[in-house]
Chain A
């Protein structure tokens, strides 16, 4: 009998949120949402007309966060209007967690300690699974789904399969979570709807939170609805440092999947012998070893987005760029994912290493990754980017070409003007 089997962390959270003791895969249940968030593109501007028509407000303004990160800063009257509407909405609806132009939601909410282990969280953006790094079930929803959620506090969920990804071993120098995810896009594929991924294993356990967030973030590219990592001491320490400690660490650790849990699939990867990876246009699954792309000349190198411009990512870029210069004919654009990231980089010298090398610093926000803001590409432009998607035309003209990699590889490529395995710049350290 299935009910006698242990539960995965996903089944524990979904079951608790749905008030059902033992949820079954494929079962459609109604879940009570613990926390919901949206941004300026998917949230207020899409909800307001419907809320007016329905004559209702938010189910609980304390449990809803709004983060402006897409149309920031405004570049024309239309984007300015969208931001103004977001601010007015937050004020009128008494949204307590309104974060205006301080960075990308998927980083800002963890910075504020608002993604809690064990929570069922709904986010109005496809990369919402990022928060799964904190042991929460965080899934992405479209605007009408989110409207229903912020009005009723509930949503339907088809209980997902749990797909376990086990990563073992120590990562070699110059190889990071991003490289792992590009390999997984190729090996596991991107067509995994109604599946929640769980990342486990010794590699994950030894990762700090910002790197774990890369795994969870790109569960989205695997087609997963969540990318969850069991909370541990690293998780609890991060939240305590944010002055938002968990109530009971022991209870939080018990969220981990039971040893006899029922996984739909398993994939194991030994990371000890991996080398830096690059995904060629126009798919994150189009992945090969970075050293096979050395004949590709680049016009632009881009470090940005929820997945690729956190403090850890800027440190990687600085490690490569320190004392070196961006190649003539190549531009390196860096959009730190939050103002806190920017301030930290300014305080510890990281920012100086980046700008001394010739980097151009852009505002914090989704920026060119979402096809908005500064740093878009012209027809024929070739870009290497620390972002998570390289679908045709996503970062500008449909005739541009985007390669994905870690920030290490982006920075190394900016120095040579060609796609470059970063290990040649890291070997001496």
Chain B
């Protein structure tokens, strides 16, 4: 995957990613409000393939999955941060949005072109030439991400169980 880097700071919370008072809205409409209080231009600037690069405790706050969904709807292909809040981390994996811990986020600048290879965890900053080896996801999580999320994986699992029943 290739795209530009959007740089965000520490402690980005789920309310900034998906405002609470707008949770009644559908996913596509809600995504247009993603990070609007912090970076009003984010939703209109993000293009399919782009990356979010952030500081520590990314996605802290509520359990609302729309925080991760909004980023995916806008085309963000992966998030690199110093650390993630646990529920956000799980939510992102579950909807097929890969998230990785990266210590050296300070060496990436806004708008840098990045190239990332999911299976090997190799990240390259095409603008600076720097390369990073990220820790790949554990097998089961990689399985979820590769399937496109937990629902497609469940779908497969249910079909398999169905086949097994029919086969008996």
Q: Give chain A's interface residues, CB within 8 Å of chain B.
A: 28, 41-42, 46, 50, 53-56, 71, 76, 78-79, 82, 124-126, 128, 140-145, 147-148, 151-152, 156, 190-191, 193-194, 223, 225, 283, 370-372, 376, 389, 391-394, 396, 398
Contact = CB atoms under 8 A, between A and B. Distances in A.
Given A54-B158, A193-B84, A372-B21, A126 B37 contact: no
Contact of A191 (B15, B56, B90): B56
A126 B86 CA distance: 10
Contacts of A78: 24
A156 B140 contact: yes
Contacts of A394: 13, 15, 20, 61
A28 B16 contact: no
Given A144-B149, A372-B20, A398-B37, A191 B57 contact: yes
Contact of B151 (A144, A152, A156): A144
Nearest to B155: A54
Contact of B13 (A54, A71, A391, A398): A391
Interface string B136-152: 00101100000001110
Interface in B1-50: 11, 13, 15-16, 19-21, 23-24, 37
A18 to B, nearest CB: 13
A392 B154 CA distance: 37
A129 to B, nearest CB: 11
Contact of B150 (A41, A144, A194, A223): A144
Interface stretch (B62-70, B113-121, B127-135): B62-70
B63 A140 contact: yes
A53 B155 contact: yes
A144 to B, nearest CB: 4
B125 interface: no
A143 B65 contact: yes
B89 interface: yes
Contacts of B64: 41-42, 142
A393 B151 contact: no
A372 B150 CA distance: 29
Contacts of A194: 86
B63 A142 contact: yes
Nearest to A158: B138
Contacts, number: 118
Contact of B20 (A55, A76, A143, A370): A370
Q: Which 6 pairs of residues, A with B, have the shortest CB-CB distance?
A: A371-B20, A142-B91, A142-B65, A144-B94, A191-B57, A193-B86
Contact of B90 (A71, A142, A371): A142
Given A124-B63, A144-B91, A391-B13, A54 B154 contact: yes
Which of B23, B95, B138 counts the most chain A CB atoms within 10 A? B23
Contact of A79 (B24, B84, B94, B154): B24
A125 B19 CA distance: 16
Nearest to B22: A371
Contacts of A56: 158
Which of B19, B62, B94, B151 counts the most chain A CB atoms within 10 A? B62
A367 to B, nearest CB: 11
Interface of B: 11, 13, 15-16, 19-21, 23-24, 37, 56-57, 60-65, 68, 83-87, 89-91, 94-95, 138, 140-141, 149-151, 154-155, 158
A288 to B, nearest CB: 19
Nearest to A371: B20
Contacts of B90: 141-142, 145
A79 B20 CA distance: 13
A60 B153 CA distance: 21
B10 to A, nearest CB: 8
Which of B86, B89, B138, B140 counts the most chain A CB atoms within 10 A? B86
Given A142-B87, A142-B91, A376-B21, A391 B61 contact: yes
A50 B151 contact: yes
A125 B149 CA distance: 20
Contacts of A42: 63-65
B154 A41 contact: no
A193 B19 CA distance: 22
11 contacts: A42-B65, A46-B65, A55-B158, A76-B24, A142-B68, A145-B94, A194-B86, A223-B86, A371-B21, A372-B20, A396-B21
B13 to A, nearest CB: 5
Nearest to A71: B24
Contacts of A53: 151, 155
Contacts of A128: 63
Contacts of A225: 86
Nearest to A157: B90
B115 to A, nearest CB: 27
B87 A141 contact: yes
Given A140-B87, A223-B57, A392 B63 contact: no
B15 A145 contact: no
A148 B154 contact: yes
B2 to A, nearest CB: 27
B20 A193 contact: no
A41 B13 CA distance: 18
B167 to A, nearest CB: 18
Nearest to B84: A193
A341 B48 CA distance: 49
Contacts of B94: 142, 144-145, 148
A177 to B, nearest CB: 21
